[in-house]
């Protein structure tokens, strides 16, 4: 429990979750719709996008809670004592930054960095682009990459390819310029 599971074990478990959810009432795996549910429950404004019966999908709120609990258990109770294995290029890039905690560059992720151009781009613009992209693609990477591909949906294949291509482009061509600001 203290080390990452091999891909052939974790992948099979994740893969079996898709047919289990479909058999349990045609439920779809994904997390991006949970924010909409929380907003619909907590912000009873006149926004048309938030006016729907969110209680029909309340199982998804328990799913999101399970992710939070699982993240806590994995990060604190079953923490890997060896740390995360990263490539040499990634280690060189991040060792040039100062850190408050493991893998969290203090130069980028703190309240003061919001007042800098680099911090604003990484935190605010990056967060907006993630939210906008998730809504524009009508789902998040887990929804398209796991549920959509498993149910053989052509749009999910296109979205997943675009996620990977976008990640490669940003990590190789955009991130070095942002880190250099």
Predicted confidence band at 37 (pLDDT cuts at 50, 70, 90)?
confident
pLDDT digits (tens, 9 = 90+) for 131-163: 777 877 777 887 888 888 888 889 889 989 998
How far from each other are the two terminal CA atoms of the chain, in whole angstroms? 40
Report the 10 Å Cβ neighbour count for 75: 11
The pLDDT of residue 165 is 94
The pLDDT of residue 101 is 52
The sign of the CA dihedral 51, 53, 58, 63 is negative
Whole-prediction pTM? 0.61
pLDDT digits (tens, 9 = 90+) for 13-35: 888 888 888 888 887 777 777 87
Report the 10 Å Cβ neighbour count for 140: 23
Distance between CA atoms of residues 150 and 20, nearest Å: 12
pLDDT digits (tens, 9 = 90+) for 64-103: 899 899 989 988 888 877 777 778 887 777 677 655 555 5
Round the average pLDDT of the chain to a whole number and report it.
80
The pLDDT of residue 161 is 93
Structural contact between residues 24 and 11, judged by C-beta atoms closer than 8 angstroms: no
Residue 38, Cβ density class (10 Å: 0-12 exposed, 13-18 middle, ≥19 buried): middle
Please give the average per-residue pLDDT across 38-51, as a whole number. Answer: 79
The pLDDT of residue 97 is 64
The domain segmentation of the chain, as residue ranges, is: 86-181
Structural contact between residues 169 and 177, judged by C-beta atoms closer than 8 angstroms: no
DSSP 33-100: HHHHHHHHHH---S-GGG-S-GGGGTHHHHHHHHHHHHHHIIIIIS--TT-----HHHHHHHHTS-EE
Q: Which has more pLDDT, 105 or 56?
A: 56
- Per DSSP, the three-state class of 1 is coil
Whole-Å CA distances, 9 to 15, 25, 43, 85: 10, 25, 40, 19
The pLDDT of residue 107 is 66
């Amino acid at each position: 429990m203290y080390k990452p599971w091999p891909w052939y074990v974790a992948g099979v478990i994740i893969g079996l979750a898709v047919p289990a959810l479909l058999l349990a009432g045609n439920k779809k795996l994904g997390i991006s719709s949970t924010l909409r549910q929380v907003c619909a429950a907590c912000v009873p404004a006149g926004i048309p996008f938030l006016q729907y019966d969110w209680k029909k999908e309340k199982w998804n709120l328990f799913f999101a809670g399970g992710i939070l609990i699982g993240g806590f258990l994995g990060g604190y109770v079953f923490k890997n004592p060896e740390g995360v294995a990263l490539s040499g290029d990634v280690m060189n890039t991040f060792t040039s930054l100062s850190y408050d905690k493991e893998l969290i560059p203090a130069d980028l992720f703190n309240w003061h960095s919001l007042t800098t151009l680099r911090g604003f781009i990484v935190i605010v613009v990056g967060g907006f682009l993630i939210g906008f992209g998730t809504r524009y693609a009508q789902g998040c990477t887990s929804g398209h990459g796991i549920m959509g591909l498993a149910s053989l949906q052509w749009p999910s294949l296109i979205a997943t390819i675009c996620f990977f291509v976008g990640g490669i482009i940003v990590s190789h061509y955009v991130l070095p310029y942002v880190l250099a600001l």
